[in-house]
Copies of this chain bind each other. A is one copy, B any other.
Amino acid sequence: VEQCDPARLELTALPNVPAIRSGDDLSAVIADCARDCAFTFADGDIVIVAQKIVSKAENRLLDLATVVPGQRARALAETVNKDPRLVELILRESRCVVRAQPDLLIVEHRLGFVMANAGVDQSNLAIEDGGARALLLPEDPDASAARLRDRLVARLRVAIAVVINDSFGRAFRRGTCGIALGAAGLATLVDQRGKPDFFGRTLRSTIVGTADEIAAAASLLMGPAAEGRPIVILRGLQLAGEISPASVLIRPPVEDVFR
Contacts and interface: CB of A to CB of B under 8 A. Distances in A.
Contacts of A224: 190, 192, 195, 203, 206, 208
A7 interface: yes
Interface in A50-92: none
A10 B225 CA distance: 21
Contact of A175 (B172, B189, B199, B216): B189
Contacts of A209: 170, 173-177
Interface residues of A, number: 78
A258 B171 contact: yes
A173 to B, nearest CB: 5
A220 B5 CA distance: 17
A45 interface: no
A39 to B, nearest CB: 6
A36 interface: yes
Contacts of A254: none
Given A123-B206, A171-B251, 5 more contacts: A6-B39, A124-B198, A177-B212, A212-B216, A220-B237
- With most chain B CB atoms within 10 A of its CB, the pick from A8, A189, A208, A210 is A208
